[in-house]
């Protein structure tokens, strides 16, 4: 990883990166990343978090520098905006709405739906849909709106990505399973309540708080822009 990316334990602490879930929800395989308990909530060992985050950032930076592609995936309501904003800034694909089964494992079918969406948009923009009745035009508008919600983030993803960055493994485990089946590398924030085994690069951290995810995503943006 470039030495330009600084990981500051105090900043991580301030952002809430270190707060996990209640002690009763600890997954045994996350025990090694926990340093203690505060108010009945497990607290991450941020030295270990920083070490794992550094590995993930190095991988992301290397992937981008080699001209390979990544996709951001995070469907937790509170995280959608910051994930979409970062992905748009970096000009990379993203999924922030419900993960559509088959996005990786049935990619050709998904691509046909994306192309249909883009075709409808182009026809509307060129005025080609004006020949239809007002009712039919309204139906087209509604279809375009629905398709945009589903496919806007992957409209320019012409092939399977080389890596997926998941912001919340528990919520988007279906995505992770599809990635594993297709040989796509997985980078993921992993909270204390989740089995981390499926991730190739895990980042043990709070995956609920906006401030925590924003800290991590800002570092990822730096890694992408190296």
Q: What is the pLDDT of residues 78-92, one digit of tens each?
A: 999 999 999 999 999
Q: Which domains are seen in the chain, by residue range?
A: 9-104+160-224 (3.40.50.10490), 107-154 (1.10.287)
What's the confidence (pLDDT) of residue 117?
A: 96
Q: How confident is the model at residue 23 (pLDDT cuts 50, 70, 90)?
A: confident
pTM: 0.92
Give the list of residues 6+ apart from residue 145 with CB closer than 8 angstroms, or none.
Answer: none
Task: Report whether pLDDT(4) > 70.
Answer: no
Which whole-number Å values give the CA distances from 26 to 15, 188, 222, 224, in the listed order?
Answer: 21, 17, 31, 32
Structural contact between residues 164 and 150, judged by C-beta atoms closer than 8 angstroms: no
Give the pLDDT mean for 154-169: 95
Task: Report whether pLDDT(1) > 60.
Answer: no
Give the pLDDT mean for 145-152: 95
Task: Report whether pLDDT(2) > 80.
Answer: no
What's the confidence (pLDDT) of residue 29?
A: 93
Q: Which helix (H) or strand (E) holds 190?
A: strand 185-190
pLDDT tens-digit readout, 104-144: 999 999 999 999 999 999 999 999 998 999 999 999 999 99
What's the confidence (pLDDT) of residue 69?
A: 95
Structural contact between residues 73 and 84, judged by C-beta atoms closer than 8 angstroms: no
Alpha helices by DSSP H, 66-133: 80-90, 107-126
Q: Pairing relation of β-strands 70-73 and 163-167?
A: parallel
Q: How confident is the model at residue 55 (pLDDT cuts 50, 70, 90)?
A: very high
Give the pLDDT mean for 201-210: 95
Which whole-number Å values give the CA distances from 116 to 141, 148, 162, 167, 182, in the listed order?
Answer: 13, 11, 25, 29, 24
């Amino acid at each position: 990883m470039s030495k330009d990316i600084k990981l500051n334990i105090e900043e991580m602490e301030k952002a809430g990166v270190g707060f996990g879930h209640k002690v009763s929800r600890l997954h045994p395989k996350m025990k090694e990343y926990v340093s203690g308990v505060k108010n009945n909530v497990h607290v991450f060992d941020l030295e270990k978090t920083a070490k794992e985050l550094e590995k993930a950032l190095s991988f992301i930076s290397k992937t981008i520098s080699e001209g390979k592609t990544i996709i951001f995936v995070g469907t937790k309501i509170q995280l959608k905006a910051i994930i979409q904003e970062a992905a748009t800034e970096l000009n990379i694909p993203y999924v922030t709405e419900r993960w559509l089964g088959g996005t990786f494992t049935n990619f050709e079918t998904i691509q046909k739906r994306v192309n249909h969406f883009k075709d409808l948009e182009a026809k509307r923009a060129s005025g080609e849909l004006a020949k239809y009745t007002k009712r039919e035009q309204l139906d087209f508008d509604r279809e375009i709106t629905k398709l945009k919600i589903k496919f806007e983030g992957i409209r320019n993803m012409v092939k399977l990505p080389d890596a997926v960055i998941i912001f919340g493994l528990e919520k988007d485990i279906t995505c992770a399973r599809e990635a594993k089946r297709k040989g796509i590398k997985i980078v993921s924030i992993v909270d204390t309540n989740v089995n981390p085994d499926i991730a190739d690069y895990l980042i043990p951290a709070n995956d609920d708080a906006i401030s925590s995810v924003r800290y991590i995503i800002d570092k990822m943006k730096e890694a992408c822009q190296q």
